[in-house]
Chains A and B, each alone.
Chain A
Amino acid sequence: EIVLTQSPATLSLFPGERATLSCRASRSVSTYLAWYQQKPGQAPRLLIHDTSSRAAGVPARFSGSGSGTDFTLTISSLEPEDFAVYYCHQCNHWPRTFGGGTKVEIK
């Protein structure tokens, strides 16, 4: 099973700041890596697929990069609605797995 390790667990930032979230895989997942955003009481929302492709309707301030075992989600300038939990997800191997999440909170 591929283990995805996200860091940091919590990121405390001000609106307008840049957020950098990390996801490390226990072995290569090629570029089959996605990012989801989840707000309290809501279902996850797909933000990024194939490492760097934004899903429909996702603002350009969200970007993804990486390959193999190391991936990054960057939010260039945090808006109030971006404070949420973010999960990475690999779709290269069965079973599919998710990272433990990074909570982006308002400082």
Chain B
Amino acid sequence: EVQLLESGGGLVQPGGSLRLSCAASGFTFSDHPMGWVRQAPGKGLEWVSSIGSVGDATLHVDSVKGRFTITRDNSKNTLFLQMDSLRAEDTAIYYCARRTNVWLDSWGQGTLVTVSS
């Protein structure tokens, strides 16, 4: 069974940093590109970042470029999202998701990031 377990969320002040992790199991992690999608409270879904299966081809939505960095460690089956210079508008549940072909076919339960003073 595919499992994705996010961690690392919490309360942070504006301008601060957080590092999210996503531990994957139940599939061959290194075979799949991965991504992060976020959802602000009461709002819709927003794609944030994607990374290729070997850690290449990283992409980010314009609103986080230069502040967020997506990486992965295939030896530990773990996906990361380093978030710096956080803003109030980054407050959201952050989901990690597995890509198969181009589709996000499995999602974790999410971790809540709150940016507030």
Contacts and interface: CB of A to CB of B under 8 A. Distances in A.
Interface of A: 32, 34, 36, 38, 42-46, 49-50, 55, 87, 89, 91, 94-101
Contacts of A45: 107
A58 B92 CA distance: 28
Interface stretch (B18-26, B43-51, B69-77, B80-88): B43-51
Secondary structure type dominating chain B contacts: strand
A47 B106 CA distance: 11
A101 B44 contact: yes
B40 interface: no
Contacts, number: 49
Which one of B44, B45, B46, B110 has the greatest number of beta carbons of chain A within 10 Å? B45
A95 B103 contact: no
Contact of B105 (A42, A46, A101): A46
B45 A98 contact: yes
A4 to B, nearest CB: 10
Interface in B10-37: 35, 37
A47 to B, nearest CB: 11
A70 B102 CA distance: 20
A91 B103 contact: yes
B59 A95 contact: yes
Q: Which 9 A-B pairs have the closest CB atoms?
A: A91-B102, A96-B47, A43-B107, A98-B45, A49-B103, A101-B44, A46-B105, A95-B61, A100-B44
